[in-house]
Structure 1
Amino acid sequence: MTSPERIAEHLVLPGVLTAEQAAETVAGILAVQREDGALPWFRGHHLDPWDHTEAAMALDAAGEHTAAARAYEWLARHQNGDGSWYAAYHDGEPDQVTDSGRESNFTAYIAVGVWHHYLSTGDDAFLDRMWPTVYAAVEFVLGLQQPGGQIGWKREADGTPVNDALLTGSSSIHQALRCALAIAEAREEPQPDWELAAGALGHAIRRHPERFLDKSRYSMDWYYPVLGGAITGPEAKARIEADWDTFVVPGLGVRCVVPNPWVTGGESCELALALWAVGESDRALTILQDIQHLRAANGMYWTGYVFEGETESDKAMWPEEQTSWTAGSLLLAVAALGGEEATVAVFGGERLPAGLEPDCCGT
């Protein structure tokens, strides 16, 4: 087990994690990881490439760089020929695909993880090894970009594109494209097409909500344009304020979807990251403190909690699962508030390339 003595100061946060608690959480994620590097939600469940990457980033934030590198090498070994990954693999078994769709935001997120790992380690050889994987992933994703800048959701198993765009997914891709451009810059391999794509995507998110499916009942569509770096500054703060009372349940965390009485750890931690990114660290800390009721005795976190019901027994942790990515999102939010350099760079976004804004709408 990871010892408290090895836990960096940036993972200790009053009311959220002591060094001992942080060590338990890191050890919990490591216990989920398979020897081949795969990070399923929990052992016996499925792996998806996005959550696998988020858990790997948390390991890097905790100083477990060898384990994180193994996770990225798993992705490199099992990338499809078109640059994608399947949406789900049973327990991380590459030959047991349970969802053969190929989702754009799942595929793009490797760029965020690889850049985060490089900033955490300075490992140039790792960046060289992963560059072909990142390049192919980005090219797959941009093959789904629509004329308005938004990114289509996925390709079906037979290759048919689903061109409808999700605001949350496209916002995550926006962050990924900026990280991919940073990787390209570090390798001195300019990618002007990616700059145009990132700029067009960011503009669509900021100015053209009509280009995305309406999923406004979901809290992710509220905060992800901020978390993904497309909306910043006063506009970002105004967006957060506008729906705060809709999604935030004081003392419990953040709803996944309204009007359901269900708060979730992942959405709460991601909102905390978005709050930190716009300078609202006090609010971010409160959110992270509020969700400690989701912490299990083993240091992992329950996915969510149903806080209303006809009887007291209807109130319960649900679903009954402790996921690697929920614990990972908590560690990343704590690392950002603690000033861990790589996590700050990836989620703060100030040093990431912005892309080229299109000549549209007079803005």
Structure 2
Amino acid sequence: MSNVSSGKSLADWGLEPAVDYIERVQRSDGLILWYPDGPADPWDHVESAMGLSVAGRRDGARRAYRWIADAQHDDGALWATYGEADGDDNDGAHAGDEPRKETHRSAYVAVGVWHHYLCTGDRAFLEELWPTVRDALAFACDQQAPTGEIYWTVGADGEVYEDALLSGCASIYKSLACGAAIAGELDHEERRDRWLEARTSLGEAIRSRPDRFDRTWESKSRYAMDWFYPVLCGAVTGETAGQRLEDGMDRFLEEGLGCRCVSDEPWVTVAESCELVISLAAVGRHERAREVLEWLFQWTDDDGVFWTGYQFEDEAFWPGERPTWTCGAAVLAADALSGLSGAADLFTDPLVE
């Protein structure tokens, strides 16, 4: 059943400049940087590509996914981050980070590829990207603990960091659902069953085992993503999902501005706000979702491109960046509310229960 509540088009939402910006920042090899001459990471790269798919920019979206296929390692992983646009794209790090392979960033290609198929019906492209999806999800499942959670990262030396992020695992939960949908569409039933089994175990950990997350670092519960990602990605549904969102509203939602990225910081961010919009739509709060999305257009530059966010105590855009993935998130939120593409319900209706 569709959760669409508005008939507005991409142009009606004023989002064509955001999509144009993603296209301008995308490199000729398909990689979508965060901003011109900036770094990149596979998760945000996919979110930006999804914006292109919704807008009908098929060539750019296909090049984005082919970049992942080309960059993927033999073990199915990608580096967590890629360097500044200086030709050094294989160091797996920027800004002093150690090279690593994060499970949720590697696995998210499954969501993007299934999303592109829903937008386009391009079965040949789905078949082309199947090996990439297969190997990416195999990498993530290889890092699943007996208690269901999927470990956060693997170092360049192959050492597994045995702790888990709630938001990262929620993202993988959605990746497994999309991978299973792809496997079912292409008649790879054994893979489908394996991923659904992994997803079931992961979902139980997300819903019932808070002790399995943030065991070796400070709790991430201050971050909005830990609040709504289990709803956004379908691990928590129904009345429980609605109550989870309601319980966090006072902590995270700043009326008239958007969603705080961190509960105790005076900073609303557009991407998290857009993902909250989709989460609200998933629990049937369409009018509230539309209201929140409409707030966010005050955080664009003169060309209609979104800033990362707004520091409302300092009354300043901060940081002074316009990320492509923020633009992608805005397009996905509008799609969830207005049915702009065949993938409009991807995050608002669970693929499988």
Shared fold, TM over 0.5 = yes
The letter of the residue matching 2:161 is: V
| Secondary structure of the corresponding residue to residue 203 of structure 2 | helix
Residue of structure 2 in register with 1:159 after alignment: 158
Determine whether 1:56 maps to 2:42.
no
Q: CA RMSD in A?
A: 1.4
| Secondary structure of the corresponding residue to residue 34 of structure 2 | coil
Determine whether 1:85 maps to 2:90.
no
5 Å matches for 1:1-363?
Answer: 9-12=8-11, 17=13, 21-91=14-84, 93=87, 94-98=89-93, 99=97, 100-190=99-189, 191=191, 192-213=193-214, 214-308=219-313, 314-350=314-350, 352-354=351-353
Structure 1 residues 7-43: Cα deviation after superposition (integer angstroms, max 9, x where no partner) = x954255xxx2xxx32212111111111111101011
CA distance, structure 2, for counterparts of residue 158 and residue 195 of structure 1: 30
Structure 1 residues 165-211: Cα deviation after superposition (integer angstroms, max 9, x where no partner) = 11000001100100000000000111222111011111111122221
Q: How far apart are 1:96 and its partner, in Å? A: 4.6
Q: How far apart are 1:132 and its partner, in Å? A: 0.5
Structure 1 residues 76-133: Cα deviation after superposition (integer angstroms, max 9, x where no partner) = 0110111000011124653353252100110110000000111111111111110100
Structure 1: unaligned runs, 5 residues or longer: 1-7, 309-313, 355-363
| Secondary structure of the corresponding residue to residue 88 of structure 1 | coil
CA distance, structure 2, for counterparts of residue 343 and residue 241 of structure 1: 26
| Secondary structure of the corresponding residue to residue 42 of structure 1 | coil
CA distance, structure 2, for counterparts of residue 79 and residue 342 of structure 1: 28
The letter of the residue matching 2:172 is: I
CA distance, structure 2, for counterparts of residue 97 and residue 222 of structure 1: 29
Structure 1 residues 199-257: Cα deviation after superposition (integer angstroms, max 9, x where no partner) = 11111111222211131111110000000100001000000011101000001101111
* Highest RCO, 1 vs 2 (Cα 8 Å, sep ≥ 6): 2
The letter of the residue matching 1:149 is: G
Aligned residues: 335
Asked if structure 1 preserves the Cα contact closer than 8 Å seen for 2:49 and 2:61, the reply is yes
Q: How far apart are 1:53 and its partner, in Å? A: 0.1
CA distance, structure 1, for counterparts of residue 182 and residue 250 of structure 2: 38
Asked if structure 1 preserves the Cα contact closer than 8 Å seen for 2:10 and 2:16, the reply is no
CA distance, structure 1, for counterparts of residue 63 and residue 349 of structure 2: 26
CA distance, structure 1, for counterparts of residue 92 and residue 251 of structure 2: 37
CA distance, structure 2, for counterparts of residue 262 and residue 9 of structure 1: 29
CA distance, structure 1, for counterparts of residue 260 and residue 213 of structure 2: 21
Q: How far apart are 1:304 and its partner, in Å? A: 1.1
Flag the 1:38–1:243 CA change in 2: closer, same or farther, 3 A: same
Q: How far apart are 1:343 and its partner, in Å? A: 2.8
CA distance, structure 2, for counterparts of residue 12 and residue 212 of structure 1: 41
Give the TM-score normalised by structure 1. Answer: 0.89
Give the TM-score normalised by structure 2. Answer: 0.92
Of all paired residues, the percent bearing the same amino acid is: 45
The letter of the residue matching 2:238 is: G
The letter of the residue matching 1:158 is: D
Q: How far apart are 1:349 and its partner, in Å? A: 3.2
The letter of the residue matching 1:258 is: S
CA distance, structure 1, for counterparts of residue 270 and residue 22 of structure 2: 15
Asked if structure 1 preserves the Cα contact closer than 8 Å seen for 2:54 and 2:341, the reply is no
The letter of the residue matching 1:216 is: S
| Secondary structure of the corresponding residue to residue 321 of structure 2 | coil
Asked if structure 1 preserves the Cα contact closer than 8 Å seen for 2:10 and 2:55, the reply is yes
CA distance, structure 2, for counterparts of residue 112 and residue 342 of structure 1: 14
The letter of the residue matching 1:186 is: E
The letter of the residue matching 1:223 is: F
Structure 1 residues 266-305: Cα deviation after superposition (integer angstroms, max 9, x where no partner) = 1100000100111111111111112222111122111011
CA distance, structure 1, for counterparts of residue 164 and residue 300 of structure 2: 34
CA distance, structure 2, for counterparts of residue 288 and residue 175 of structure 1: 23
Residue of structure 1 in register with 2:4 after alignment: none
Q: How far apart are 1:344 and its partner, in Å? A: 2.5
CA distance, structure 2, for counterparts of residue 96 and residue 320 of structure 1: 26
Q: How far apart are 1:45 and its partner, in Å? A: 0.9
Q: Could you tell which deviates more after superposition, 199-208 or 48-57? A: 199-208
